[in-house]
Amino acid sequence: MGLFNDLGKKFEQLKQEAESSASDEATHGCRECETLLYTDYAECPECGSDSVVPVRRD
Ligand SMILES: [Zn+2]
């Protein structure tokens, strides 16, 4: 019983870490609406602008 509760908590924790680290790994962003993207879109899925540019991380 206790074991399953611990696993459930651990799973939630891992899921949250995965979600937060995903937002650190955006590869592209829209210059118009500043939406972070994970794919090199030809047009921003949020505002339709073609100003999707690679995010520089040095
Ligand atoms: Zn946009």
* Cα 23 to ligand 1 centre (Å): 16
* Cα 21 to ligand 1 centre (Å): 22
What residues does the ion ligand 1 have nearby, CB within 5 Å? 30, 32-33, 35, 44, 46-47, 49
- Residue carrying the six token digits 């993207």: 37
Length of the chain: 58
How does pLDDT run across 14-43, given as a tens digit for each residue?
Answer: 777 666 655 568 999 999 999 999 999 999
Look at the pTM and tell me if it is higher than 0.75. Answer: no
Q: Give the residue ranges of DSSP H helices in 1-58.
A: 2-24
Work out the pLDDT band at 48, boundaries 50, 70, 90.
very high
Paired residues of 54 in beta bridges: 28
Q: CA of 44: how far to CAs of 4, 20, 34, 54, in Å? A: 42, 22, 10, 12
pLDDT at 6: 81
